[in-house]
Amino acid sequence: MLPVTLESARVRLDLPTRADTAAITEACQDPAVVRWTTIPVPYRAADAQRFVDALVGPGWASDREYTWAIRRQGSTWLEGVISYRTVHRDLGFWLAPEARGAGLLHEAVELVVGWAFEQGAPDVYWECYVGNTASAAVARRAGFAYTGTADALVANRDGSPAAAWTGLRRADGEPASDLPWPPESTAGAAGSLAP
Would you list the DSSP string of 58-85? HHHHHTSEEEEEEEETT-----EEEEEE
Cα gap 131→94, rounded to integer Å: 15
Lowest-pLDDT range of 25-29, 80-84, 98-102, 184-188: 184-188
Residue 147 falls inside a structural domain: yes
* Of 168, 169, 170, 164, the residue nearest 185 (C-alpha): 164
Model confidence pLDDT, tens digit, residues 13-34: 999 999 999 999 999 999 999 9
- In this predicted structure, what is the pLDDT of residue 184? 87
Cα gap 191→59, rounded to integer Å: 27
Residues in the chain: 195
The CATH number linked to 87 is 3.40.630.30
- In this predicted structure, what is the pLDDT of residue 34? 96
Which domain covers residue 109, as residue numbers? 6-186
Percent of the chain residues past pLDDT 70, beyond the cut: 95
Mean pLDDT (whole number) for 146-162: 95
Residue 68 falls inside a structural domain: yes
Q: 192 pLDDT exceeds 90?
A: no
- In this predicted structure, what is the pLDDT of residue 5? 98
Residue 191 falls inside a structural domain: no
Residue 100 falls inside a structural domain: yes
Question: Which residues have CB under 8 Å from 95's CB, separation 6+?
Answer: 27, 70, 79, 80, 104, 105, 191, 192, 193
Cα gap 102→46, rounded to integer Å: 29
> How many other β-carbons are positioned within 10 Å of the β-carbon of residue 151?
11
Q: pLDDT confidence of 190, banded at 50, 70, 90? A: very low
- In this predicted structure, what is the pLDDT of residue 70? 98
Residue 17 falls inside a structural domain: yes
- In this predicted structure, what is the pLDDT of residue 191? 40
Residue 194 falls inside a structural domain: no
| pTM recorded for the entire structure | 0.94
Q: Which residues, listed in sequence order, are joined to residue 124 by a DSSP beta bridge?
A: 169
Cα gap 192→195, rounded to integer Å: 11
Q: 69 pLDDT exceeds 70?
A: yes
**Number of folded domains in the chain?**
1
